[in-house]
A = this chain, B = another copy of it.
Amino acid sequence: MQEFEKLPGIGPRSAERLAFHILKSDKEAALALAGAIREVKENVRHCRVCYNLTEADPCPICADPRREQSVIFVVEQPNDVVLLESTGLVRGVYHVLLGHIAPLDGIEPGDLTIDALVARVKKGGVKEIVLATNPTLEGEGTALHIKSVLADLPVQITRLARGLPSGSQIEYATRAVLQDAIDGRRVF
């Protein structure tokens, strides 16, 4: 129960319920869970190129010759890679920052994988860095920092489009969304 309670979103009551479930379940099911937890900790690591979570190193995306290695989508977390991959829209590769700059939480640029990104660009062959950090204060600050550290390198820096989310109604848009939509309007 003490171990379950350390997990996020599990309170004392849930921990108790989980613990009794383990006690009641057959031995195989319980050992399968224990085995999966151990296996994931032993076999899943960060890709040495893009820092995504992977069992193979480099990860299957970095190792795929059909991907455009010259276009790098920079995201905050491994789950952003999962989401973008699920759309099938990204032909390039990724770079996972493993967080965003948040000075108030003590997360400085040096805590992220920004140095490794700069090294990837300096190695050459990279044409475009697509900043795909979250459109939040921290994501935006992180994007601006990366832009500044890449400023002197011969690479184009782009950012995912901001604006009205497809399928929404203008009447429910916030001021910030409308500002992006008006400022970013394009020839149609």
A134 to B167, CA, bound (A): 8
**For residue A187, which residue of chain B has the nearest CB?**
B158
A89 to B177, CA, bound (A): 11
What does DSSP make chain A's interface, helix, strand, loop or mixed? mixed
Question: A177, B188: Cβ atoms under 8 Å?
Answer: no
A25 in contact (CB, < 8 A):
no
* Residue A147 lies at the interface, judged by CB distance under 8 Å to chain B: yes
Assuming A132-B170, A134-B170, is B177 touching A165 (CB within 8 A)?
yes
Assess whether A161 is in contact with B176, with CB atoms less than 8 Å apart: no
Cβ–Cβ < 8 Å partners of A126 in chain B = none
Count this chain's copies in the assembly: 2
A162 within 8 A of partner (CB): yes
Q: How far is the CA of A41 from the CA of B68 in the complex (A)?
A: 62
Contacts of A186 in B (CB 8 A): 158-159, 161, 184
A101 contacts chain B at the CB level, 8 A cutoff: no
A90 to B180, CA, bound (A): 12
Tell me whether A163 and B188 are in contact (CB under 8 A): no
Asked if residues B167 and A165 are in contact (CB atoms below 8 Å), the reply is no
Report chain B residues within 8 Å CB of A156: 187
**Binary contact track A141-171/B, C-beta < 8 Å → 1, others 0:** 0010001000000001111111111111111
| Pairs A–B under 8 Å by Cβ, sample size 6 | A77-B171, A80-B170, A159-B185, A160-B164, A162-B166, A166-B174
Contact residues of A with B, CB < 8 Å? 75-77, 79-80, 83-84, 86-87, 89-90, 130-136, 143, 147, 156-171, 173-188
